[in-house]
Structure 1
Amino acid sequence: MFEVFKSSWALLLGMLLLMLGNGLQGSLLGVRGGAAGFSAFEMSIVMSAYFAGFLFASRMTPGMIRRVGHVRVFAALGSFISAVIILYPAVQHPVAWALGRVVIGFCFCGVYVTAESWLNNSATNETRGQTLSLYMIVQTLGIIAAQALLLIPDPSGYLLFVIPSVLVSIAFAPILLSISPTPTFETTKPMSLPSLFSTSPLGCVGMFLLGGVFAAQFGMSAVYGTEAGLTLKQISIFVASFYVGATVLQYPLGWLSDRMDRRRLITMVAALGGVAAVVAVIMNENFTVLLCAAFVIGGSSNPLYSLLMAYTNDFLGPEDMASASAGLLFINGLGAIAGPLITGWVMQQVGPGGYFILIAALLLLLTGYALWRMTRRAAPLTQETSAYATLTPAASPVMVELAQEFAIDAADAREDDADDAGADRAAGTE
């Protein structure tokens, strides 16, 4: 791990600063939108726009990089991010903010694709798993730390918009000054959706539902806090709790994933998150309960992304894993676009509690569907399943492919070990 950090510290530092800026601007808009009198549904449109831009960029950025190169794309998109963040307080209108969020989502995805392609290029077969883990830790810690910046005095002024703009601008320095452009790359063409669904119905349905859950927690948690009357400090802690849970529970669940029927684990984890959301609906006046619920929901939804990806891989050969992951990423993106819109509409109808009602509905629906799928076909043998690779729903196509390469390497290593063991047994019987 130390060797990976030593060779990639500039990239990781830059990504940490980027996540600080992204995590702060998302939560800040939720707080300032309420202060500006935007309704929950208007804010849901603003938050949904980010995921629309993110999805478009995942398809368009590779072509941009092939035409003009990594450095130019990286610098240009970063400049747009800084500019849009500064413009938010100057034009306080939901339509303007929604357009800005489309640009922000597009640019952040493009920046992630570019930076992660450099990171992927520096990883070897021996370090790929460590690189992936370290990157995900840095990414999550950046979002958690960003919530503390909300507590800087005067949230009604320009300062809290200047800070993420500066953080994003500074983030490019360690990256651009320490690396050279990598060769152009080709992203994998997604598997057709009918083929993907026939391969893993649970993977497809689960990814769509999970997109809505993640978008609600990433885009609408600060909006919920504002609508529920939480203080700025409480909103900061509440939003951070989702990502603390994701960090703490990701690896224990990953360990279990490689040792039991993944459908059972998916069912239990989704049910745990759904029950936590139901408790939050019932006991919404207790802030401690809200924090515990956020911790469990975050600790459930983020590992579920990796679990569903790994479960789908269980029914694929190594040659199909990358194209399947691209298809799952697209499905998850569609769910992420719809998630905030539905959340905002539900909150508009029933009040702030609609936030947890929707999360509960999505996770319990995933639980029920997983239980039903368990009756449709047998689970693959545990020793024949693919490796679990840690991912977050915010991962770009490049990082998903890096995770798939890790899974393929692990699958190949497992086959080699099995062949060696078989050869040893055969030699012992002679």
Structure 2
Amino acid sequence: MILRSLASVAALLLGSAFLLFAGGMNGLLLPIRGEIEGFTAFSLGLLGTGWAIGYVAGCVATPWLVRRVGHVRAFGAMCALAAITVLASLLFLTPWVWIPTRGISGFCFAGAAMIVESWLSERADKNARGRIFGVYTMVNLAATTLGQLALTLGDPSGFVFFVVAAMVYCLALLPTAVSASQTPAPLTSVSLDLPALWRNSPIAVFSVFMVGTSNGAFGALAAVYASRLGLTLDEVAIFASVPLVAGALAQVPVGALSDRFDRRIVLIVVALLGLVADASFIAGIFTATQTILIASAVFGAAVFSMYPVIVAHANDHAAEGTGLQVSGGLLFVFGLGSIVGPSAAGLAMTSLGSSSLFWITGGAHGLLVLFALIRLRARAAVPQDEKIAFKASPLTRSTTPQTAALARKSRGGPRLKGSARGWGTLRTDQS
């Protein structure tokens, strides 16, 4: 049964794999090449800010674009434009071109991912959606990691990796272009109401912004930090990839703990683990490559497992049927944090040195812990029988509102309990 279901969506999974492979390669190539070209850490941080702005804009605008021109044309335009931005980055080796093209790339990446996920949701058998969502998540993680590690096979100072990334973006277009399936259901569009989100769960809104700040800073500048630490190209690629894998693996035990105990306490413990990793990088206590990679794994296990705990906690307090709105709203708040983090970290690294990257991430984790401790005194824990089941999620850098919709369908629809106290007008439009 599952093999038949996977066969029906194999083309879409392949298209998603191409998309994430190219995105992983391009995302790591630019900061490495920027270091070679002598770009400042601040300008490289702005690449991450540009990406986040474009990604958030893509999540907002893609449903309108699909409604206007259709799924296939919109997806083709996204992939083609993403390929063009990669090649433009090769032609114009200056941050003044790279920053806006990185924003366009983020817009295209978000839009293309949403369309693939919409198509996948339509094609997946309803009895196998949960397993297919799990396979989709692992395919995306593997593709991103392989895209980053592919940089170890050549010289990033040349043109080859730019061309390969552009070619793979174009390859991502083919599975949907030749698909004979019917047009998917309309994409999910979430209207954001921050006051309603805050009333539902202040700790979720504050924490997801802090996690966005931390993860955005690390995602944009980890390669720059590792390069300035003296690691080889192979080691830089591994340093950027290990946290992703560790974060994905950590979601299972962290999720199990959050289902059993107060999620806020679990979030505090995980954030404290992140602070330990932050402090180790700031102090420079690890100098051997192996120990640096272990520290990066600990960091990734902490920072990439917090987001799904935050979403689950917010949904614990949400009224029945509003889980998709909550998840989509938190995703946008995460995106706002991802806009702030890279530019702040880049400015700090330019002025104060490479280790100040972890002053930014550590500051975000410290503020998260302090606010969570305050909220522990202000609001009682959710009763055990009213908690929803924890659901591992894709790493937030590749998550869209359509991902949340697909994940909820894989669980058979909303199964939320809890009070509707304070929930406002946040809504989901199927347009």
Alignment of 1:250-261 (within 5 A): 250-261=251-262
| 1:164 alignment counterpart | 165
Q: Deviations over 1:79-106 (max 9, x none)?
A: 1111111121210111100011011000
From the superposition, tell whether residues 26 and 8 of structure 1 become closer, same or farther in structure 2 (CA, over 3 Å). Answer: same
State whether structure 2 residue 149 is matched by structure 1 residue 145.
no
- State the distance in 2 between where 1:127 and 1:270 align: 34
- State the distance in 2 between where 1:88 and 1:80 align: 12
CA contact (8 A) 2:82 2:169 kept: yes
| 1:389 alignment counterpart | 391
Q: Percent identity?
A: 32
From the superposition, tell whether residues 406 and 310 of structure 1 become closer, same or farther in structure 2 (CA, over 3 Å). Answer: farther
Q: Bigger CA drift: 247-256 or 157-166?
A: 247-256
CA contact (8 A) 1:20 1:142 kept: yes
Q: CA deviation at 1:179?
A: 4.8
| 2:26 alignment counterpart | 25
Q: CA deviation at 1:228?
A: 2.5
| 1:428 alignment counterpart | none
- State the distance in 2 between where 1:208 and 1:28 align: 26
| 1:10 alignment counterpart | 11
| 1:113 alignment counterpart | 114
| 2:345 alignment counterpart | 343
Show structure 1 runs of 5+ residues with no match: 416-430
CA contact (8 A) 2:9 2:124 kept: no
Q: CA deviation at 1:266?
A: 0.9
Q: CA deviation at 1:187?
A: 2.5
Q: CA deviation at 1:406?
A: 4.7
1:295 alignment partner, one of 267, 291, 297: 297
Q: CA deviation at 1:252?
A: 2.0
Q: Secondary structure at the match of 2:298?
A: helix
CA contact (8 A) 1:310 1:386 kept: yes
State whether structure 2 residue 212 is matched by structure 1 residue 208.
no
- State the distance in 2 between where 1:78 and 1:387 align: 36
| 2:88 alignment counterpart | 87
| 2:402 alignment counterpart | 398
State whether structure 2 residue 128 is matched by structure 1 residue 127.
yes
| 1:369 alignment counterpart | 371
Alignment of 1:35-46 (within 5 A): 35-46=36-47
| 1:73 alignment counterpart | 74
CA contact (8 A) 1:191 1:324 kept: no
CA contact (8 A) 1:136 1:390 kept: no
CA contact (8 A) 1:52 1:102 kept: yes
| 1:104 alignment counterpart | 105
- State the distance in 1 between where 2:332 and 2:401 align: 9
What amino acid is aligned across from residue 111 of structure 1 in structure 2?
A: A
Q: Bigger CA drift: 276-285 or 39-48?
A: 276-285
Q: CA deviation at 1:405?
A: 4.2
- State the distance in 2 between where 1:4 and 1:249 align: 28
Q: Secondary structure at the match of 1:353?
A: helix
| 2:429 alignment counterpart | none
From the superposition, tell whether residues 299 and 3 of structure 1 become closer, same or farther in structure 2 (CA, over 3 Å). Answer: farther
Q: CA deviation at 1:150?
A: 0.8
| 1:419 alignment counterpart | none
Structure number with higher relative contact order (C-alpha < 8 Å, ≥ 6 residues apart): 2
| 2:423 alignment counterpart | none
Q: CA deviation at 1:399?
A: 0.4
Rg larger in structure: 1
- State the distance in 2 between where 1:27 and 1:62 align: 28
- State the distance in 1 between where 2:301 and 2:412 align: 26
What amino acid is aligned across from residue 213 of structure 2 in structure 1?
A: G
From the superposition, tell whether residues 248 and 126 of structure 1 become closer, same or farther in structure 2 (CA, over 3 Å). Answer: same
CA contact (8 A) 2:243 2:296 kept: yes
Q: Deviations over 1:39-84 (max 9, x none)?
A: 0001111221011000111110000000110000001110111111
Alignment of 1:233-252 (within 5 A): 233-252=234-253
Q: Bigger CA drift: 150-159 or 18-27?
A: 150-159
Q: Secondary structure at the match of 1:189?
A: strand
Q: CA deviation at 1:20?
A: 1.0
- State the distance in 1 between where 2:11 and 2:301 align: 28
- State the distance in 2 between where 1:353 and 1:267 align: 23
- State the distance in 2 between where 1:149 and 1:64 align: 33
- State the distance in 2 between where 1:364 and 1:65 align: 41
From the superposition, tell whether residues 96 and 182 of structure 1 become closer, same or farther in structure 2 (CA, over 3 Å). Answer: same
| 1:422 alignment counterpart | none
- The alignment's TM-score, normalised by the length of structure 2, stands at 0.91
Aligned residues: 414
Q: Secondary structure at the match of 2:317?
A: coil
- State the distance in 2 between where 1:224 and 1:6 align: 42
Q: Deviations over 1:333-378 (max 9, x none)?
A: 1000111001101111221101122212212221222122111111
| 2:315 alignment counterpart | 313
| 1:420 alignment counterpart | none
What amino acid is aligned across from residue 389 of structure 1 in structure 2?
A: K
Q: CA deviation at 1:167?
A: 1.3
Q: CA deviation at 1:160?
A: 1.1
Alignment of 1:55-66 (within 5 A): 55-66=56-67
Q: Bigger CA drift: 2-11 or 332-341?
A: 2-11
What amino acid is aligned across from residue 227 of structure 1 in structure 2?
A: R
- State the distance in 2 between where 1:296 and 1:96 align: 35
Q: CA deviation at 1:299?
A: 1.5
Q: Secondary structure at the match of 1:319?
A: coil
Q: Secondary structure at the match of 2:127?
A: coil
| 1:47 alignment counterpart | 48
- State the distance in 1 between where 2:175 and 2:410 align: 27
Q: Bigger CA drift: 310-319 or 221-230?
A: 221-230
What amino acid is aligned across from residue 296 of structure 1 in structure 2?
A: V
From the superposition, tell whether residues 146 and 327 of structure 1 become closer, same or farther in structure 2 (CA, over 3 Å). Answer: same
Q: Deviations over 1:258-317 (max 9, x none)?
A: 222111111111111121121122225332232122212221222211110110000012
